[in-house]
Chains A and B, each alone.
Chain A
Amino acid sequence: MDIFFGQLFTGLSIASILLLVALGLAIIYGAMGVINLAHGEFVMLGAYGTWFLQSQFGLPLIPCLLLVFFMVAAAGWVVESTVVRFLYHRPLDTILATWGIGIMLQQAVRLSAGAELRYVQTPEFLSGSIDIAGVGIPSYRLFILALTAALLALTWFVIQRTEFGMKLRAVTQNREMASCYGINSARIYSLTFAFGSGLAGLAGALVAPIKSVAPDMGTNFVVDAFMVVVVGGVGSLIGTVVSSGLLGSGTAGIAFLLNDTLAKALVFLAVVVLVRFRPQGLFVDQRRR
């Protein structure tokens, strides 16, 4: 029983990290249709930002989170206004350009921060584990779970309940028409890209204490993030939540029954089959294109 409970929590925990990383991508890919292959590198920048703030200024993790969000959002804003902006009508070129940006960011970090792995400290009060039903649940994982839920709520609020969100939804539905109504669509896109990038940076800052911080750490994340978004259905926030839950618990379950190598392969297989028969993903956002 306690093993089942422990396994359930492991699944939830993997799912929360998946969701955290995919959230920013879901917004950028879902709302703007931009396939941003540099997403993993924004996660990496967030992790390095935290390491930098911690090692240079001795800041604890929690204040770092806020700073890192704005730092990486600023980086995203720069990337959008210097490169991505000019490629909105050329999706294939966007893939190539963002991939190139990703490689440049990796090498820039490697040259400036060094190739060695870095480490980020877990806050003292979150470094232990809490005993629930005889199972030691790492408190930092609980923290990630809670924060992911909070970020999800915040994202939903921004998109559904603010003026910015309303404009964003208008631009997503029909850019020309929205512009006719006086919405500055270029500005909306810039802000969206920055917000999505900031979320990616935040994800990086949060996972840094349980994983290692290295210049190429983003590569795995970007694959996972795209998988979540594609399975969930492009442009659907609820789809992203459900699909990260399914993929997370699926991976954890198979890894426990068999092993991690097979878990990865089988989950990919399931995704391929799903996309074959339901290319639009699990949840489809009903809208006119």
Chain B
Amino acid sequence: MTFTRRNFLKSTAVAGVAGSVGFPHIWIKDSGAAWAANGEIKVGVLFSLTGTTAVVEKSMHNATMMAIDEINAAGGINGMKLTAIVEDPASDPATFADKSNKLVLNDKCVSVFGSYTSASRKAVLPVFEKRKNLYWYPTLYEGRECSKNVMYTGAVPNQQQKEFIPWLVKTFGKKFYLIGSNYIYPKEENNVCKILLKELGGEVVGEEYVPLGHSEFGSVLNKFRETKPDVIFSTVVGDSVIALHKQYKAAGFSPDKMPMASLTTSEVEIAAMGGEYAAGHFTSAPYFMGHQSKENEVFVENYRKRFGKESVTHFVSEAAYFQMHLFRKAVEKIGKGDITPIAVRDATAGLEIMAPQGKVKVDGDNLHCYLWPKIGQAQADGQFKVIQQSSDWVKPEPYWAYPGQSCTKDGLKGA
């Protein structure tokens, strides 16, 4: 082989990759369990502060940091302070994985709290499973996952829909138009919706997915006009939610006759579109800022004191907040020398805590949470009025739409 520039670059690149992959193994073996050294417990905080999903993730970051400060102000956990290692994954799944590696291997965080999108969670999963660490995921998501290295504190489809769909059918009618953004979450939610509708004798008059970031709903609105559904079931996410609501109103539709029923429209989206466009539409979620409870009052007041009186709390920031307190409660149960990510997970399973939405519990088998689904109607002031709350907490069933499959202590059964 002659020594050309190209060959030289190739061989150094290969050596570089091999080096960066092989290197951690050299020292991870004798690194020992230094999870809580020098009177501090390190936790990773991994929410995008820049990039496309920064809008929502910033609020999750805020709620997480607020919970950490609350814990430290109250004396820490068994006398140890929580130290937050903050990384910005910039809304990019590959960067999520990189930063996770850094937080777990270099910083030795005993847990990492992060992610809004499913894509970013899927990207970090291998890291946490391989390194036997623990990831805390506060977002509602599509279910169908059973990792033993993730704590899921957001809602899964059965929790958001089981009471919502029957209520919609009873109140408005049986003809549904399903509109969602084009990725896995809306498709899985719509699967659940279609199963529920079939049981109730309902009818799907249209099912459609628009590209992420889509902002031109003229043709979709014409299809609403043509098919005349009773309910528009929306799992559109992000900026598109705003465009859809604005154009819906401008087209002369009224939520009294054909409301949008959403799983994804929260106080954040409403603040960005203006209350008059959202007023009258419905959302099902475990938490609304307008929920009446003592815990929520304190949560909202502290949040606004810290991040401005215009700021809003919503269903993912609430979960980001209470999951940190779940972590605290779990670590309190563990002896100082025994703190490991797996010990934290085992201590969290079955744990209960008073959250702003109500008392929540971690399911010992599937590591998802028992939550309190509510149906909220958006008001012109940007808040939701809670119309109905489930009478009991609802068990998380991440494989609800897949009979015969279930997530157990030992992993997925019946797949």
Contacts and interface: CB of A to CB of B under 8 A. Distances in A.
Nearest to A17: B216
A251 B357 CA distance: 43
B210 interface: yes
Given A119-B272, A127-B250, 6 more contacts: A10-B222, A136-B251, A138-B252, A212-B243, A212-B273, A259-B208
Nearest to B54: A115
A263 B218 CA distance: 13
B272 A116 contact: yes
Contacts of A117: 55, 239, 242, 268-269, 271-273
B243 A3 contact: no
- Size category of the binding interface on chain B: 35 or more
Interface in A248-263: 251-253, 255-256, 259-261, 263
B58 A116 contact: yes
B213 interface: yes
11 contacts: A10-B222, A115-B55, A117-B55, A117-B268, A131-B252, A138-B252, A210-B243, A211-B242, A259-B210, A260-B214, A260-B216
- Size category of the binding interface on chain A: 35 or more
A17 B223 CA distance: 21
Contacts of B54: 110, 115
B39 interface: no
Contact of B209 (A7, A129, A213, A259): A259
A141 B250 contact: yes
B78 interface: no
Interface in A1-44: 3, 6-7, 9-11, 13-14, 17
A285 interface: no
B102 interface: no
Given A214-B239, A252-B219, A138 B251 contact: yes
Contacts of A251: 216
B55 A116 contact: yes
B252 A260 contact: no
B223 A256 contact: yes
Nearest to A13: B218
B132 interface: no
Nearest to A129: B252
A255 B273 contact: no
A20 to B, nearest CB: 13
Contacts of A136: 251-253
Contacts of A107: 50
A210 B55 contact: no
Interface string A120-133: 01100001110100
B242 A256 contact: no
A3 B200 CA distance: 31
Helix, strand, loop or mixed for chain B's interface?
A: helix
Given A10-B218, A110-B50, A252-B218, A138 B182 contact: no
B255 interface: no
A169 interface: no
Given A7-B219, A129-B250, A119 B274 contact: yes
Interface in A139-169: 139-141
Interface in A224-255: 251-253, 255
- Return the 8 tightest CB-CB contacts between A and B, nearest first: A136-B252, A117-B272, A10-B218, A138-B250, A255-B219, A129-B252, A212-B242, A256-B219
A212 B239 contact: yes
Contact of B247 (A116, A138, A252, A260): A138
A220 interface: yes
A131 B208 CA distance: 27
Nearest to B213: A220
B55 A129 contact: no
A175 interface: no
Given A121-B274, A211-B242, A6 B55 contact: no
Nearest to B269: A117
Contacts of B182: 261
Contacts of B49: 115
Interface string B6-49: 00000000000000000000000000000000000000000001
B218 A119 contact: no
A209 B245 CA distance: 11
A61 interface: no
Contacts of A17: 216
A255 B214 CA distance: 12
A97 B268 CA distance: 35
A194 interface: no
B211 A261 contact: yes
B273 A210 contact: no
Q: Which of B226, B251, B268 has the most CB of A within 10 A?
A: B251
A255 B220 contact: yes
A210 B214 CA distance: 12
B239 A211 contact: yes
B162 interface: no
B280 to A, nearest CB: 15
B359 interface: no
A255 B209 CA distance: 11
A210 B51 CA distance: 22
A64 interface: no
B394 to A, nearest CB: 30
A261 B215 CA distance: 12
A138 B52 CA distance: 29
Contacts of A116: 55, 58, 268, 271-272
Contacts of A213: 272
A11 B208 CA distance: 19
B249 to A, nearest CB: 8
Interface in B45-91: 49-52, 54-55, 58
Nearest to A140: B250
A261 to B, nearest CB: 5
B246 interface: yes
A144 B206 CA distance: 30
A63 to B, nearest CB: 20
A212 B150 CA distance: 33
A203 interface: no
